A and B are shown apart, each in its own frame.
Chain A
Amino acid sequence: MAESTEVLEEKKIKVKEREPLFSKKNKKLISDPLDENNPITIQVLGICSALAVTVQMKAAVVMSVAVLFVLILANVSISLIRNLIPNRIRIIVQLVVVAALVIVVDQVLKAYLFDVSKELSVFVGLIITNCIIMGRLEAFALGNKPWPSALDAIGNSLGYGMVLVIVSFFKELFGSGKLFGFEIFGNATEQTGLYAMGYMDNGLMLLPPSSLILVAVYIWVQKIRNPSLIESH
Chain B
Amino acid sequence: MAINKDSNTYTISFAIVLVIIVGGLLAAIANGLKPIQDENLVNEKKQNILNCLPGNKSITRDEAGSVFNNFVKQRVILNYNGEIKENTLLDNSIELNNKDSKDAFSIDLLKEYKTIKDEKSRNYPLFICDVEGKTYYVAPVMGKGLWAAVWGFIAIDESGNSISGTVFDHKSETPGLGAEISQDFFEDQFIGKLISNEDTYKSVEVNKPGNPLNDYQVDGISGGTFTSVGVEEMMSRTLVVYHKYIKNLNRS
A interface, CB within 8 angstroms of B: 1, 4, 55-56, 84-89, 92-93, 96-97, 100, 103-104, 107-108, 110-112, 114, 121, 175-176, 189, 201, 203, 206-207
C-alpha spacing A87/B5, complex, angstroms? 7
Docked-complex contact B174 and A114, CB < 8 angstroms: no
The complex places the Cα of A9 from the Cα of B212 at a distance, in Å, of 68
| Contact A176–B176 (Cβ < 8 Å) | yes
> Are the C-beta atoms of A1 and B1 separated by less than 8 Å?
yes
| Complex: A104 Cα to B31 Cα, angstroms | 11
> 10 more A-B contacts (CB under 8 A) besides A85-B14, A111-B37, A121-B172?
A56-B175, A88-B6, A107-B29, A107-B33, A108-B33, A110-B40, A114-B37, A206-B176, A206-B177, A207-B174
Is there an interface contact between A104 and B29, defined as CB atoms closer than 8 Å? yes
Asked, given contacts A111-B37, A203-B223, whether A1 binds B177 with beta carbons under 8 Å apart, the answer is no
Query: Chain B's interface: helix, strand, loop or mixed, by majority?
Result: helix
Cβ contact within 8 Å between A203 and B177: yes
The minimal Cβ–Cβ distance linking B186 to chain A, given in whole angstroms, is 9
CB nearest neighbor in A for B175: A55
Residues in B with CB closer than 8 Å to A114 are: 37, 40, 44, 61
Q: Is the CB of A97 within 8 A of B29?
A: no
Please tell me if the beta carbons of A87 and B6 are within 8 angstroms of each other in the complex: yes
**Complex-state Cα separation, A139 to B29, whole angstroms:** 30
Whether, in the assembled complex, B30 has its beta carbon less than 8 Å from a beta carbon of chain A, the answer is yes
Residue of chain B at shortest CB distance from A203: B223
B37 contacts A110, C-beta separation under 8 Å = yes
Number of residues from B at the complex interface, CB < 8 A: 29
**B1-20 toward A: CB 8 Å interface, digit per residue (1/0)?**
10101100011001100110
Minimum CB–CB distance from A77 to chain B (whole Å) comes to: 11
Known: A100-B26, A107-B29. A201 touches B176 (CB 8 A): yes
Residue of B nearest to A189 (CB): B185
Chain B 62-105 against A: per-residue CB contact (8 Å), 1 yes, 0 no?
A: 00000000000000000000000000000000000000000000
The 8 Å CB contact of B14, one of A86, A111, A206, is: A86
The residue that A100 contacts in the complex, of B1, B22, B175, with Cβ under 8 A, is B22
Q: Is the CB of A97 within 8 A of B22?
A: yes
Distance, CA A150 to CA B173, complexed state (A):
37
Q: Is the CB of A86 within 8 A of B10?
A: yes
- Contact A111 B33, beta carbon cutoff 8 Å: yes
Closest B residue by C-beta to A190: B185
Residue of A nearest to B15 (CB): A89
Of all A-B residue pairs in the complex, the 4 with the closest CB atoms, nearest first, are A176-B176, A111-B36, A111-B33, A86-B11
B171 at the interface (CB under 8 A from A): yes
- CB of B222, distance to nearest CB on chain A (Å): 9
Q: Which residues of the other chain, A, contact B14 by a CB distance below 8 angstroms?
A: 84-86, 89, 93
Smallest Cβ distance from A79 to chain B, in angstroms?
16
A86 to B10, CA, bound (A): 8
User: Of B11, B26, B40, which contacts A111 at CB under 8 A?
Assistant: B40
